[in-house]
Amino acid sequence: MKLNIGVIFGGNSTEHEISIISAVQAINNMDKDKYNVIPIYLSKDSKLYYSEDYKKVENFKNLSSAMKMGTEVLLTKKNGELVLIKDSFPFKVIKNIDVIFPILHGYNTEDGTIAGYLEMLGVPYCESDIYASAIGQDKILQKMVLKESGVRVCEYRYFYESDYLKDQEKVLANVMELPFPLIIKPARQGSSVGIGVAHNKEELIAKIEEALEYDEKILVEEVVVDLKELNISVLGDNSSYELSDIEEVYGKDEILSYQDKYMSGAKGASKGMASTGRKIPADIDKNIQKEMEDMALKAAKALNISGVVRIDFMLDKKSNKLYLNELNIIPGSLAFYLWKSKNVEYKELLDRVINIGIKKFQNKNKKLSSFETNVLESFNGTKGVKK
């Protein structure tokens, strides 16, 4: 019997469109003999829509017509089964779903929001859990956990908008303990949105103000000037992780911009992350490769990631020092292009990620999550528990 896989994508994130590209790519690569794939589009205003026409990226050129094309649905449980119900009278079940495959990027989605929603529903899903997802999204929390786990990260400072409004000079003085040039990032965005480089105090203020338009939590870190950007993908769960090839990615600007990441293909954005300028395998020394693999595995364990993720590194070509830059819990294009030379075709990669999601659900269900006794049976209102 075929499994019904619901692929959720879109969402209220600056990476909404990138998620559509990643999801449509994945939908069209899932094994049709094993799975019925059900596309579920999450609009920017958090409504769910279903349509078989969502299997084509052209149908998303205009987002409001994409919504009109679909049926507005609710994702809920009925008689213990996960179902899509038409969100208007007569509220008919239109699809049964066995497993959810979230392919969403960024804040409000990939950051544990969707994982939490799916945990609430009590269904198997193919993504890391809430904790890994949240830490994966917050570039500051991520650095704290990684540093504690013995993974090298750039020197950094962070602050909140409230600190900045209260005492701008104090915040600037703290940040300027680090040497220029500095890179300023909204803590929980992605795709280089709101990121800028500053070479002096004036630019620093301007870039902070730009970053504050996207997030109230700001990260400032030292710039790796002589930079080589290297990425690796990790597949598995805490019982065993596999490592992909390493890629080197190139950008035209000082930092790899949104343009570089998604718009560099001849046909615009339709190829997603798979269209960035890259070299696979990267041209690096064996010892750098080994160090990167060790750091990737340490990070994977520390966060307890599961499924397929991409971990991005920065190599300082002068000092030969390697830094972990960030984790992508649901990577663009699911990083499928990094697995090809490992003889893992996209179809197989998707199969493996689906199986990891099912196994995670089964293992979780074996653990106790409540006690048989109910303390509320003897609860005596505001007087507390009767002895």
Ligand X SMILES: Nc1ncnc2c1ncn2[C@@H]1O[C@H](COP(=O)(O)OP(=O)(O)O)[C@@H](O)[C@H]1O
- Residues within the interface to ligand X (CB under 6 A): 154, 183, 185, 189-192, 195, 221-224, 227, 229, 251, 255-256, 312, 314, 325-326
Q: Do 147 and 129 touch, CB atoms closer than 8 A?
A: no
* DSSP track, 161-209: HHHHHH-HHHHHHHHTTSPSSEEEEETT--TTTT-EEESSHHHHHHHHH
Nearer to ligand X, 67 or 256 (CB): 256
Lookup result for tokens 């066995």:
98
* Cα(53)–Cα(58) distance, integer angstroms: 9
* Cα(141)–Cα(135) distance, integer angstroms: 6
Nearer to ligand X, 220 or 350 (CB): 220
Nearer to ligand X, 75 or 296 (CB): 296
Q: Do 158 and 142 touch, CB atoms closer than 8 A?
A: no
First to last CA, the chain: 54
Lookup result for tokens 């049709």:
32
* Cα(278)–Cα(128) distance, integer angstroms: 26
Q: How far is the CB of 87 from ligand X (least distance, A)?
A: 33
Nearer to ligand X, 102 or 357 (CB): 102
Nearer to ligand X, 227 or 300 (CB): 227
Q: Do 371 and 377 touch, CB atoms closer than 8 A?
A: no
Nearer to ligand X, 246 or 314 (CB): 314
* Cα(183)–Cα(209) distance, integer angstroms: 13
Q: How far is the CB of 258 from ligand X (least distance, A)?
A: 8
Q: How far is the CB of 257 from ligand X (least distance, A)?
A: 8
Q: How far is the CB of 97 from ligand X (least distance, A)?
A: 30
Q: How far is the CB of 272 from ligand X (least distance, A)?
A: 14
Q: How far is the CB of 374 from ligand X (least distance, A)?
A: 45
Neighbour count for residue 290 (Cβ, 10 Å): 10
Read off the tokens for 71.
């049926």
Nearer to ligand X, 231 or 244 (CB): 231
* Cα(54)–Cα(327) distance, integer angstroms: 28
Q: How far is the CB of 310 from ligand X (least distance, A)?
A: 10
Read off the tokens for 271.
């190829």
Q: How far is the CB of 232 from ligand X (least distance, A)?
A: 14
Nearer to ligand X, 6 or 186 (CB): 186
